[in-house]
Structure 1
């Protein structure tokens, strides 16, 4: 049976993500109609059997619009990952929930939008070197690393807390050896990548000079990833779990459940496994309630 699938991306011409187009081509080879669609365009979503969020990398700047879109598509079609997962994952405060449940996460301080006592609250943590970043953001766009008493860091923090909630965490030196990302499709590990920052940097993203290496998943990493995903409020079709070694254990940096780079390029079979996962969701959607 031929199904119609939308793979949703963004509209920035400066970087056209190849992954949705690669997935669409393979889905078409398998007899489905697959379109790469810009999420905020005027589209009849009810015409699709499945809508897959992929590289909607401008949603941070259009959050309310994005969340309203997710809810609308959920009514008109079926969207993955599910809306309740997206709403839970969109704000990095979920990390505190993981920590309270016993998952290894970095300590964190969440500063609410407009907080005026940031210097005192930073000092009260007892941390020396910290990373600050918006609670809703991605790609380390507005992240900053600095000493707690640094005027430059405080100025940056004041600027971003005026715009929204901010997460503060102690710097984890393990990041210098790389951040490991486990990619899971349909609950099973597909592949993994170790992202290593450029010398003298802490940001692992390629656009900040980071490099990508294939990685062999350890039992400890997999156990942490599964324990963290077990706390997500609904089933996830695709997931990326970002980990760093801290105090000798794999520690969750992020659960990427909305629009993660899936690093399909680092494994020859990854694209096929991702498409298998999408096709399986089509079959699941056909099952009677």
Structure 2
């Protein structure tokens, strides 16, 4: 008679790409694990540990997703913990980090239905900017262009009609790659440099970006640790994304919900997260 797994890895029903990390992590756990879409009709109380792995559609249904996370938190051990998920689900957390002295990419926050769109763009003159939703993943909804172009104004208007928006200067250093430091249980496991394909600025693999192993510099470690120290609770896993601006690293995003963890660039690194999951399921 088979025993039902007491660990669930959370995914989504319509995957935009394969999750290359899940198989390695499931094998490292050494016991059966259920891979379940977050909106599936299941009894989440049957699992002692529920690990968010690839719910890559959560940003399209955020209120529903957060309501689901709150239900699961009442009946199981949720990783990362609920306060972290709630805090990290909207990029307003970047401004909290900046207020605590963490260097971030210069960012202008624009509220939904703002009447100040033209004024916000005018601050950048004819410079290149990146416009992106404040709730998003994987550069979906992002636009790069001249701040004084009609295309940029149209994109900003469309995004602001739907939700909050971030407006940032385009940082040319992204062509050299975006550095990501991956942490498990508060300790840095490994790092990668994600390089966009020629002519693009998006470094995610879904847009053609390629990740290479990276040896982090001391100032990159310091930035990552400062950012993680501001999270509302300890994290089982974290990815800290950054690039260089004027010679220093600045934070792009702190990924605490569903980041790719690049286990394939650091063979065996999945065991550290597996140990955390197994301990959570046993407690």
TM-score normalised by length of structure 2: 0.94
Number of the residue aligned with 1:275: 274
Distance in 1 (alpha carbons) for counterparts of 2:41 and 2:257: 21
* 1:193–1:214 contact (8 Å) kept in structure 2: yes
Q: How does 1:245-260 map to 2 (within 5 A)?
A: 245-260=244-259
Number of the residue aligned with 1:131: 130
Number of the residue aligned with 2:174: 175
* 1:8–1:20 contact (8 Å) kept in structure 2: no
Distance in 2 (alpha carbons) for counterparts of 1:255 and 1:13: 22
Q: Deviation at 1:59?
A: 0.4
User: Which stretch shifts more, 157-166 or 10-19?
Assistant: 10-19
Distance in 2 (alpha carbons) for counterparts of 1:128 and 1:42: 48
Q: Deviation at 1:125?
A: 5.0
Unaligned runs of 5+ in 2: none
Number of the residue aligned with 1:23: 25
The SS at the match of 1:55 is coil
Shift in CA distance, 13/90, structure 1 to aligned 2, threshold 3 Å:
closer
Q: Deviation at 1:155?
A: 0.7
Distance in 2 (alpha carbons) for counterparts of 1:89 and 1:132: 19
Q: Deviation at 1:101?
A: 1.2
Count of aligned pairs: 280
Q: Deviation at 1:93?
A: 1.1
Distance in 2 (alpha carbons) for counterparts of 1:64 and 1:276: 31
The SS at the match of 2:33 is strand
Instruction: Please list the CA deviations of residues 91-116 of structure 1 after superposition, one character each: whole Å capped at 9, or x if unmatched.
Output: 11111111111111111111111123
Aligned counterpart in structure 1 of residue 14 of structure 2, from 12, 16, 21: 12
Distance in 2 (alpha carbons) for counterparts of 1:14 and 1:260: 14
Number of the residue aligned with 2:229: 230
Q: Deviation at 1:166?
A: 0.4
Shift in CA distance, 263/113, structure 1 to aligned 2, threshold 3 Å:
same
The SS at the match of 1:212 is strand
Q: Deviation at 1:263?
A: 1.0
Q: Deviation at 1:13?
A: 5.1
Q: How does 1:204-223 map to 2 (within 5 A)?
A: 204-223=203-222
Q: CA RMSD in A?
A: 1.6
User: Which stretch shifts more, 107-116 or 57-66?
Assistant: 107-116
Number of the residue aligned with 2:108: 109
Number of the residue aligned with 1:55: 54
Number of the residue aligned with 1:150: 149
Shift in CA distance, 106/126, structure 1 to aligned 2, threshold 3 Å:
farther
Q: Deviation at 1:24?
A: 2.0
Greater relative contact order structure (CA < 8 Å, 6+ sep)? 2
Shift in CA distance, 102/127, structure 1 to aligned 2, threshold 3 Å:
farther
Q: Deviation at 1:268?
A: 0.7
Instruction: Please list the CA deviations of residues 229-283 of structure 1 after superposition, one character each: whole Å capped at 9, or x if unmatched.
Output: 1011111110000010111111100000001111111111122222123223335
